[in-house]
Structure 1
């Protein structure tokens, strides 16, 4: 494809359905119905607005509690970094809502196009790598409780989280490199992945395809499949160990982490599936990408507001444990791994004693 042909390709009358957080550059070759377009835009605007409000409030509260008010433990450090990753993405959601409200027109410039995509990708990598690290931490705590007591500390956990942030940022660099804007006919500006940016010349089509495949496969493996196998392996070992030695009869400590992991993979699974399907867009009906890509991206972004909700509803028995939301959240965040396999009693910090009359004095086991 020559440079002139490339310009004609990107400036055709076809319609882009590519949200700022997506890493697709699908060009839909048929115009959607007005009903589909309007319904999708309204749904996305409402969803992004709701996720933004819930995410800023929930993750902001978690950051304040875990970072400033609760006793610093290994678990609060993990939760602090998870919330910080989500909070950073939540702060940019008004751009997503505006993009959908404007009919997928991006008026914010190339820099914000790149940055918004980078933040979504970095949020994905940071979240799944942190969940993998937490799972490994729980597994080691069950297998080697004595070693954990001597070597596990909040300071070292902070160092591990910093390394995870650095790795996630490195894996997200393609979003900064390939994300681009281009003006279409009718005055609309598209924010999309332009894999030809590093491939000028006559071989642009083949080179672009190579970059596209490389970025897609890397993201699927590093951001979904491999961490999923690591998490599954860790919890399989934990369950086998606990059942074999009858170390814990209480299933409540499993609820928070199980809920976080399940929520992450349910929210991101459609995103990655469509990402892989997009490698061969002409094999599938255009409606798959026209409607599927925006909705899958919105579902992935929804994960950024779910964790604080899960802390509240999964940390304790919601029907029997009648305390304030603030105290419930503090309770979930203050659970620590300890030895992972032995019962332990811990008292609440000043923040978690908002409702001292509630029966919350004992934690049977560490959160796994």
Structure 2
């Protein structure tokens, strides 16, 4: 019996120490993401919104920066919540807003990346038509549509997120999927599990699987078209778009995997509980960190970084958001080919 108590005490100390380590790691990552995200995305908003010539690409990246800025601006609430031992002193409204904004950022970002890939695909497949029809105004309307769709998909968190005062007067901010104060009945718990599963599956399909399938198809078409037309140099401006897309994939794929594991049939086993216990804080921190990566990518992956960065920050972002080289080469090549064939290009 003494040995059993000793083993239980050792296990409790281990889990307690592990929990504290995860909390400290989360706060460190959140703090870095907040600092870099607010300053970096704020700089992108200032340059792309007020200092640069408005182009279709600058509209796309401006909206990406706005999504990341809003999310990182609210991160201090999550940092404080973790630091206070998961006590939420900010009220029910901010509890709802904090989660809604997190998922609004995720949906808006992946939808904008999908729209960018479709825009690039159309630009390469139909360069003359694209040259005549693409405009910043049209891009702004499409971006607004992506925000509306993202808001609709993240709005359930405005409904389900709730606060409850527990033992030791600690207020928790949690998902009240059954919209109930009493989870003692099996019917209430079944409703909670059903809605929880529906939310995670919808989030995975609409916020990851479907958008990335479209993105892969679009960039496959772009790669084939550029290779056929022997326009290898025209692929350089795509580096920044591909880098942003890959970073989103790497940051959010583990998060969705662990979310699906959470609702799997094996989630009740001891090994799975341990994996989720350790993994979810890590993958959540990685997903949050994505919001501060994009401004860094714009600078370091943008064309001719070293020369442009020496000149000015503005020219660095102009290079990162450049679209003229691709469209210009594609359009001129299509026009010259059309002229040689004595055809009038369709507009």
- What is the TM-score with the length of structure 1 in the denominator? 0.80
Q: How many Å separate the matches in 2 of 1:85 and 1:321?
A: 26
For 1:224 and 1:325, the matched residues in 2 are separated by 36
- 2:271 is equivalent to residue 297 of structure 1: no
1:59 deviates by 0.4
**3-state SS, counterpart of residue 57 of structure 2:** helix
Q: State the partner residue of 1:41.
A: 23
Paired residue total: 316
SS in 2 for 1:190: strand
Question: Which residue number corresponds to residue 19 of structure 1?
Answer: none
TM-score (norm 2): 0.85
Q: 1:185 deviation in Å?
A: 2.3
Q: Which is worse superposed, 83-92 or 279-288?
A: 279-288
CA displacement at 1:79 relative to structure 2 = 0.7
The structure 2 residue matched to 1:233, chosen from 202, 217, 230, is 217
Q: Deviations over 1:303-324 (max 9, x none)?
A: 1111100000000344666615
Structure 1 residue matching 2:174: 3-state secondary structure? strand
Contact 1:252 1:316 in 2 (8 A): yes
- Is 1:118 aligned to 2:100, yes or no? yes
DSSP-derived class of the 2:263 partner: coil
Q: CA deviation at 1:122?
A: 0.4
Correspondence for 1:261? 245
| Partner SS, residue 303 of structure 2 | coil
2:274 matches 1:274: no
Q: What are the ranges of 5 or more consecutive residues in structure 2 without an aligned counterpart?
A: 1-11, 333-347
The alpha-carbon deviation at position 32 of structure 1 amounts to: 6.3
**Correspondence for 2:192 among 208, 224, 237:** 208
Choose 1 or 2 for highest CA Rg.
2
Deviation at 1:90, TM superposition (A): 1.0
The residue number in structure 1 matching 2:141 is 159
Q: Distance in 2 between matches of 1:106 and 1:199?
A: 18
Once superposed, what is the RMSD of the aligned Cα atoms? 2.3
Pairs within 5 Å for 1:104-253: 104-197=86-179, 203-249=187-233, 251-253=235-237
- Whole-angstrom CA distance in 2 between matches of 1:31 and 1:213: 32
Q: SS at 1:249's partner residue?
A: helix
Cα separation, partners in 2 of 1:322 and 1:82, compared to 1, 3 Å: closer
- Counting helix residues as a fraction of each chain, which structure ranks higher? 2
Which stretches in structure 1 are left out of the alignment for 5+ residues?
1-29, 346-368
Deviation at 1:151, TM superposition (A): 1.1
Residue-by-residue CA offset, 1:11-68 (whole Å, 9 max, x unaligned): xxxxxxxxxxxxxxxxxxx886232122222222221111111111110011011111
Contact 1:105 1:188 in 2 (8 A): yes
